[in-house]
A and B are shown apart, each in its own frame.
Chain A
Amino acid sequence: MTDCTFGFVGQKHKFVVVAADRSAARSIVVFKQDEDKVLELDASKLLGSAGSAPDGVAFTEFIQKNVALYEIDNGTRLDTFATANFIRNELAQALRRGPYQTNLLLGGLDRESPLYADDEASLYYIDYLASSNKVNFGCHGYASNFILSIFDKEWHPDLTVDQAKDLVQKCIDELQNRFLINLPE
């Protein structure tokens, strides 16, 4: 059960940060404190999941394998926009059969190519109901009540990597201070 995933783009869209808490818990018991909930789809894409843990793991691994398959089949990597659409489509088809209860944040960096004039980092906020939005910053779960305000205030398009780290730390501090559920990491 993930309680918090958040992410943002930085420095004129040259990098993207995706962060998630590390607790794996059910009901009142915490199983482990070092779970990694941000999956690397490939060398330039991250998929953070929030919500139900089994759906999150199953779905994100499914996406990871399909992205790898695309690269093997077609010899070229999917860009972030295409990946977001693929994810959205899979979620939408499953929605009316047996929905995945997982919210996702897809962060990706598209290298300079015919499609992109320059390196372009983007973040897609994908809901469990399969709606996809390209955003500058996003947050899933109860933590969004706290973190979105921090982003509204502190995020700007020209964040450097150091400023980004500070921003992440600010978010973590706020959660540890004000959020009921104890998220040590």
Chain B
Amino acid sequence: MSIMEHNGAAMIAMAGADCVAIAADTRFGLRQQTVAVDFEKVFRMTDKTYVGFGGLATDVQTLRAALRFRLSTYELKEERVMKPKAFANLLSHVLYEKRFGPYFVEPIVAGLDDDGKPFLCGMDLIGAPVFCGDYVVSGTCTPNLNGMCEALWRPDMTPDELFEAISQCLLASVDRDALSGWGAIVHVITKDGVTSKRLKGRMD
């Protein structure tokens, strides 16, 4: 089993009309054994930028701390909040620093620009970014996730429609993957704030 599949993950970030949502499962497992069902993989970086890390859990936790540090340093020096695009570039840089001994994570970044436009970015483990306008996925069941998102995503969804779409995509995808699932959490980011909800899915 590949190192990226040691712990299991599934996450999606989707764009709507002036809103963006990011969702992930909450399973923490060691290969086939599930150890915890409340493992956070999506983290708030700024009020308008969330990042999800899919991959090896230890690197998820290490990167979270590393990025918090880098972001805080930036905010102290620049006296302003980091924009999502700048954050994505920072993350890409942090990952490439370890080009020949990488962090085994494939992050997705979801944020809102200053003008309210959604920002989505997916990366591989050494920081190669791809900027999308519709959705990005990451995890152990990416074929499932891609298929579901392709089917259910449509442009200009309202926050409620976006929440519904991303939840259905995630739940349906993880149900066919042994390594992900066991609970899910969705964050919907709009200019007015962030709503976080836990999804009730199959706990198997």
Which A residues are within 8 Å of any B CB, using their own CB? 88-89, 91-92, 95-96, 125, 127, 129-135, 138, 144-145, 148
Q: Are A138 and B35 closer than 8 Å at their CB atoms?
A: yes
Q: Is B121 an interface residue (CB 8 A)?
A: no
Q: Are A127 and B62 closer than 8 Å at their CB atoms?
A: no
What are 17 A-B contacts with C-beta separation under 8 Å? A88-B58, A95-B58, A96-B101, A127-B58, A129-B6, A129-B57, A130-B58, A130-B61, A131-B7, A131-B28, A131-B56, A131-B57, A131-B58, A133-B36, A133-B38, A138-B35, A145-B33
Cβ-closest 6 pairs across A and B: A131-B57, A133-B36, A130-B58, A131-B58, A129-B58, A92-B62
Q: How far is the CA of A138 from the CA of B37 in the complex (A)?
A: 12
Q: Residues of A contacting B101 with CB < 8 Å?
A: 96
Q: Residues of A contacting B65 with CB < 8 Å?
A: 89
Q: Is B153 an interface residue (CB 8 A)?
A: no
Q: How far is the CA of A131 from the CA of B7 in the complex (A)?
A: 10
Q: Is B39 an interface residue (CB 8 A)?
A: yes
Q: Are A133 and B39 closer than 8 Å at their CB atoms?
A: yes
Q: Is B30 an interface residue (CB 8 A)?
A: yes
Which B residues are within 8 Å of any A CB, using their own CB? 6-7, 28, 30, 33, 35-36, 38-39, 56-58, 60-62, 65, 101
Q: How far is the CA of A53 from the CA of B15 in the complex (A)?
A: 50
Q: How far is the CA of A88 from the CA of B65 in the complex (A)?
A: 11
Q: From residue A179, how far is it (CB to closest CB) to chain B in Å?
A: 16
Please indicate which of the listed interface residues A96, A131, A135, A145 has the most CB atoms of chain B within 10 Å of its own CB. A131
Q: From residue B19, how far is it (CB to closest CB) to chain A in Å?
A: 31
Q: Are B61 and A131 closer than 8 Å at their CB atoms?
A: yes
Overall SS of chain B's interface? mixed
Q: How far is the CA of A89 from the CA of B69 in the complex (A)?
A: 14
Q: Are A148 and B33 closer than 8 Å at their CB atoms?
A: yes
Q: Residues of A contacting B58 with CB < 8 Å?
A: 88, 91-92, 95, 127, 129-131
Q: From residue A20, how far is it (CB to closest CB) to chain B in Å?
A: 18
Shortest Cβ distance from B56 into A: residue: A129
Q: How far is the CA of A132 from the CA of B57 in the complex (A)?
A: 8
Q: Residues of B contacting A129 with CB < 8 Å?
A: 6, 56-58
From A88, A95, A133, give the contact of B28 (CB < 8 A).
A133
Q: How far is the CA of A148 from the CA of B6 in the complex (A)?
A: 19
From A88, A96, A125, A144, give the contact of B36 (CB < 8 A).
A125
Q: Residues of A contacting B62 with CB < 8 Å?
A: 92, 130
Q: How far is the CA of A133 from the CA of B30 in the complex (A)?
A: 12
Q: Residues of A contacting B57 with CB < 8 Å?
A: 127, 129, 131
Q: Residues of A contacting B6 with CB < 8 Å?
A: 129
Shortest Cβ distance from B30 into A: residue: A127
Q: Are A125 and B35 closer than 8 Å at their CB atoms?
A: yes
Q: Are B61 and A92 closer than 8 Å at their CB atoms?
A: yes
Q: From residue B3, how far is it (CB to closest CB) to chain A in Å?
A: 9
Shortest Cβ distance from A95 into B: residue: B58
Shortest Cβ distance from A135 into B: residue: B36
